[in-house]
Chains A and B, each alone.
Chain A
Amino acid sequence: MTRRSLPGMLAMTAASATLLAACGQAGQADGGSGGGGDADGGTTEISMWTHSAGNPAELEVYEQIIADFNGSQDDYEVVMESFPQGAYNDAVVAGAAAGDLPCLLDMDGPIVPNWAWAGYIQPLGIDEGIIDSLLPTAVGRYQDEVYSAGYWDAALSIFARESVLTENGIRIPTTDEPWTLEEFDAALVTLQGAGYETPLDIGAEDAGEWWPYAYSPMLQSAGGDLIDRDTFLTADGALNGPEAVEFFEWFQSAFERGLASDAGTIGNEEFNNDEVALSYTGVWNALGSLEAAGDDLLILPPPDFGNGPKIGGASWQWGISAECADADGARAYLEFSFQDEYIAAFADKQVVIPATKGAEELSEMFGEGDPLQPFVELSQLYALERPPTPAYAVISSVFERAGKDIMNGADVQSTLDQAVQEIDANIESNDGYGF
């Protein structure tokens, strides 16, 4: 009797647990992910996730586009759900594992190849004309197929005050003649002598994707890279070659000599308060600095480490999930959304570079003669996408750690060799990620 009752009870408990789980599932299905079910009068719901909870300016534009799109036709209704950026990628990975992704989802440019390879997203398949009109770095490709497209790109530059440079006899660099590494280094030393305890805010207090986004372009400018872009099968020679070692030795010495530091606050406060003379930062901080420095603000190209200045390309972009049942509706929405006025609204509200020529002219900040126009030029001249390989997720994490170790005084060559070995081991255990 007692012996029989234990399995019996377990079975009952298991059964009720299953029932509960089923209820949970049903509850989720009611929430309307995955698209489908044209219950009310022929309109199909298209679900959409964004990472922009906590960014009201961006959400406002999306709400406008969705309202306009839903009002413009009767076949589809786009329903948006927004997540905080910190939890967004986890939500997508969990959603994919549960087979519960929305139709439309946005993603950071460098992760696109990983999600395409993993089968989360399908080829975008929207009008070629739209793709051609966008900045090349606003389009996400994996193995020659377009998987995502975005309304904007971001760009990094060096912020400076004209008065400070002139007073200290430092040449103001131009896109024709950017600072060489020697000039840049000398300028920092001069500025340190002029009383700036830490002359450059390089942003090293930040963590995560910032590291590869900010410092791998410097590495590429020096002639190194994150991975061998010919094969995408090894980082050997690219991340630990002599050019890479040379760059990282400079990087390390900049911290050792106090030209840069990893203290301070994330953002551009130090520059705005004139505590640092130069700031290596992005377009999104430009408005605050424009307010602080006014006409004195210079937006300068990043220094040339040998192979010309480089800027990391690709920001957030939109794709369609592989399991989307109404991909046509999702495409219709995306094609509708790539209008110059919306793109210009994103650019002005978020302070990012508009992805089309037309939007640039409509924009109040990025058009000809507008204060932030230099960013458009920098992006066009120097933007280089991060390596379009599914291995990027791992490369990014390995690069961040290696960079921080070197900043903290680790031996450059052996740290880079170790990073290469970790990346290569990961590529190998993933059977080359399809390359």
Chain B
Amino acid sequence: MAMPAQQITPHALPDDDAAATGRARRRARSAREGHRSAYWMVAPATLLLLLFLVVPVLLAFGLSFTNARLISPNPPRFVGLDNFVRAFTSDPTFVRSLVNTFVFAAVVVPLQSGLALLMAILVNQKLRFVTWFRVVYFIPVVTSIVVISILWDFMYQRDGLVNSILDTLTFGAVQGTNWLGNTSTALPAIIVLSIWQAVGFHMIIWLSGLQTIPEELYEAARMDGANAWQQFKDVTWPGLRSTMVFILVTITIQALGLFVQIDVMTQGGPRDSTTTLVYHAVQQGYRRQETGYGAAISLIFFVIVLVIALVQRWLTREKD
């Protein structure tokens, strides 16, 4: 569908002036055609984004001020801020979801990005089998999170793999619990699994950042007598700055959107200890059929993510 934008201007015209204006006109036309094909190329993405992102967001915004339900013979009614008041005053599960979501993000963001960086540095060396390690670390990323959740669900059971490993390693001194059935261990258990699953992806991103740092800088640093830590602090870390910003933002958004692991493994339990904002929105908006209320929770979630992303953007801005 796209036309070639560049045209070769023929030089065979005798009149220089005429040739010049002709060239200018052609250039203008080719620029216009370039614009047109650019619009064509952007169109599919724009349309899909409009249809599946902008329209739903606007709909959710509108619905969150109504009592719309999934199944109902009655038309939705405007209820003002009722849904938001309900969320913050009479829905303890919502408040708990908010807390859990923040706890999850607060633990996962530093831990996962730090671990990913460590792994990236480890696999960035010229060693035998280093490709093999990279692949091994990356396998969980390409495995479906649903499959992983089901497997870990089995591993976390009272007589599951985790407990039998604990039992063997400590010669029976440590008796594991039913990890997902215990209010104090369920969320940590999900944090561990989530980091294990996603860390490989961010390792690859760090790795690509590491490989953009020129070797000469390290050589120069070594000639100045810098030790390994100084090289990391003053060469590697500054060189990874833009990578760091990207990783920070993506992990934060990913962590705040925690849903699948919860839905598959704990359904928010035991006693709301693993419920999250997205899970609660789905639960209320779809399974309990309160579309309006679900939309309100989604809107709150959207605002929170937006604010956090903007704050991060501001904190990590290029100073000066």
> Which residues in A have some Cβ–Cβ distance to B below 8 Å?
1-2, 5-6, 9-10, 13-14, 17, 93, 96, 114-115, 117-120, 207, 262-263, 393-394, 397-398, 401, 404-405, 408-410, 418, 421, 425-426, 429-431
Contacts and interface: CB of A to CB of B under 8 A. Distances in A.
B73 A5 contact: no
Given A404-B269, A430-B72, A425 B35 contact: no
Interface centre among B69, B71, B72, B270 (most CB of A within 10 A): B71
Interface string B160-200: 00000000000000000010010100000000000000000
16 contacts: A2-B32, A10-B47, A17-B47, A93-B71, A96-B71, A393-B288, A393-B289, A404-B269, A405-B272, A408-B270, A409-B270, A425-B86, A429-B67, A429-B69, A429-B290, A430-B69
Interface of B: 32, 35-36, 39-40, 43-44, 46-47, 67, 69-74, 86, 90, 92, 157-158, 178, 181, 183, 267-272, 283, 287-290, 293
A425 B270 contact: no
Given A263-B158, A408-B271, A409-B270, 18 more contacts: A2-B36, A5-B35, A6-B39, A9-B40, A10-B47, A13-B43, A120-B71, A263-B178, A393-B289, A405-B270, A405-B272, A409-B183, A410-B271, A421-B90, A425-B86, A429-B67, A429-B69, A429-B290
A426 B72 CA distance: 12
Contacts of A401: 268-269
A262 B72 CA distance: 35
Contacts of B32: 1-2
A393 B283 CA distance: 12
B43 A9 contact: yes
B183 A408 contact: yes
B43 A10 contact: yes
A390 to B, nearest CB: 8
B39 A9 contact: yes
A394 B267 contact: no
A14 B48 CA distance: 11
Contacts of A430: 69, 72, 74
A118 B290 contact: no
A424 to B, nearest CB: 11
Nearest to A92: B71
Given A408-B271, A409-B271, A118 B39 contact: no
Chain A interface SS verdict (over half): helix
Contacts of A118: 71-73
A190 B145 CA distance: 44
B42 to A, nearest CB: 9
Given A2-B32, A397-B287, A408 B269 contact: yes
A262 B269 contact: no
Given A2-B39, A13-B43, A404-B270, A394 B181 contact: no
B162 to A, nearest CB: 15
Contact of A114 (B43, B71, B183, B272): B71
A431 B90 contact: no
Contacts of B69: 429-430
Contact of A431 (B74, B268, B290): B74
A395 to B, nearest CB: 10
Contact of A426 (B40, B46, B268, B288): B288
Contacts of B272: 405
Top 9 nearest A-B pairs (CB, nearest first) are A408-B270, A118-B71, A2-B35, A405-B271, A119-B73, A410-B271, A429-B67, A394-B288, A408-B271
Contacts of B46: 10
A207 B73 contact: no
A118 B73 CA distance: 5
Nearest to B269: A404
Nearest to B273: A408
Contacts of B157: 263
A262 B40 CA distance: 57
A410 B47 CA distance: 49
Nearest to A429: B67
A120 B289 CA distance: 15
A207 B267 contact: yes
Contacts of A13: 43-44, 47
Contacts of B181: 262, 408
A169 B122 CA distance: 67
B39 A426 contact: no
A262 B269 CA distance: 13
A10 B72 CA distance: 35
A314 to B, nearest CB: 19
A17 to B, nearest CB: 7
Contacts of B268: 401
Contacts of B290: 426, 429
B96 to A, nearest CB: 11
A404 B183 CA distance: 12
Contacts of B158: 263
B190 to A, nearest CB: 16
A430 B287 CA distance: 15
A207 B266 CA distance: 11
A207 B69 CA distance: 24
Contacts of B67: 429
Contacts of A421: 90
